[in-house]
Structure formats: structure tokens, C-alpha cells
A and B are shown apart, each in its own frame.
Chain A
Amino acid sequence: AQKITQTQPGMFVQEKEAVTLDCTYDTSDQSYGLFWYKQPSSGEMIFLIYQGSYDEQNATEGRYSLNFQKARKSANLVISASQLGDSAMYFCAMREGLYNFNKFYFGSGTKLNVKP
């Protein structure tokens, strides 16, 4: 089974509107971390936001927030007030604690296009 599933290969959003990028994960570990990365066309992966499995509050970083629903095993990224520079690939990732802490599992990504 896939560890990280991103079901939206591509998304469009109007500039200044909010958009939600979906991510579900699969783990039996109690301790894990969830990450979102942005990859512009230039190729580098840019860390956006982190959510720990024991964090009770949803993580926020500026215009980025993570809608963490532990029982559903989902960690959706919400981008508020979209900007043209937000157009990029977005990857959800998970790092499991204890035994597999070497590995990051990445989803297949969502390509976000922000329209002017």
C-alpha cells in the first residue's frame, strides 16, 4: 500500500482565493511527522510546513496551514490568498518515528496553477 496518497494530479485556483491540496497517509506508527514541500519549475524542493503526530493544534506558517485529521489520516495543505508565485508542484511527505526514521515517504504530487 502507498504510504502517501495525493489524489489531485492538478489543480487550478484563482489568484487571491484559498485552495486545499489533499493528502492521506498510511502508517501504524504512533510517532510520525508530516511535511509539505513546494517544488517550482526550477526543481528545488522547498519545505513549507510540518505537523507532528502528537501535535494537538493544526500547524500554520504564514499563508500555509495544515488541516490535520488524525482519525482520517489526512493532512491537507491549505493555501490562503493564492499568489501567482504559488504555481508549482506540491508534495506531501511523511517520516515515521522509531524504526524507519531514515525514510521520507513522498506522494506523487499535485500541480497547482494559480490563474490571474
Chain B
Amino acid sequence: ETGVTQTPRHLVMGMTNKKSLKCEQHLGHNAMYWYKQSAKKPLELMFVYSLEERVENNSVPSRFSPECPNSSHLFLHLHTLQPEDSALYLCASSPKISSDPTYEQYFGPGTRLTVT
């Protein structure tokens, strides 16, 4: 498998459930990202990991908990979510964190999350 994969592609969960989103990249990249995409809003950066170390946390509520066990895998653990958390969650990776701004991000297909 190549590129960036995300599972599941669709998830419906109640507010009391606990679930996890999984992202895997097969590109040998060192940086991974979680974004939230709500309807009619710009992409919101949630977390950035560089070489398994979290380097960015954009004031995300604690009900979202990221985990990066290695440079190829990224998880987003979800618990006691709210209906307003329903969105498309996109994972991305890039070759490395550096001062060179030319690196693009490669995105996964996203997980469509619905909180009921």
C-alpha cells in the first residue's frame, strides 16, 4: 500500500463512546498532522508530530488525544465528544520538519465522523 491511509473512512459514535482514528503513511515521512475540516470552515490544524514528538497543539480540547507510536503511525483517540465535533478528520504527512517551506503535505482520504 502506498501514500497515506486512514481508517475507518466513516464513523458514527455516541457522545459517551470511546473510539480511535488511525493514520498510516508509507512514504518514509517524518512529520504527521491531524486536521479537522468542518462544513464551510477552513481546515483547522489540530496536532503536529515530528519524529514521534508532538510539536504543535492548537488549543484542542482534551477529549481529543493524539498518539504517535512511530513515524509511520498516528492515532487520534476520541472520548466524550460533542455533536459539534462532527467533521471530516484529515491526516497528512510531510518529509520532515525544516526551515525549507517547499515541502508539501500528503493527505489521507479522511475519516467522516458523526457524533450523535
Contacts and interface: CB of A to CB of B under 8 A. Distances in A.
A42 interface: yes
B78 interface: no
Given A43-B109, A44-B107, A47-B105, A101 B42 contact: no
Given A47-B104, A50-B102, A50-B104, A108 B90 contact: no
B101 A33 contact: yes
Interface in B76-96: 88, 90, 92
B interface residue count range (under 10 / 10 to 19 / 20 to 34 / 35 or more): 20 to 34
B8 to A, nearest CB: 13
B108 interface: yes
A116 B56 CA distance: 44
A57 to B, nearest CB: 15
Interface residues of A, number: 29
Interface of A: 4, 31-33, 35, 37, 42-47, 50, 52-53, 91, 95-98, 101-109
B90 A45 contact: yes
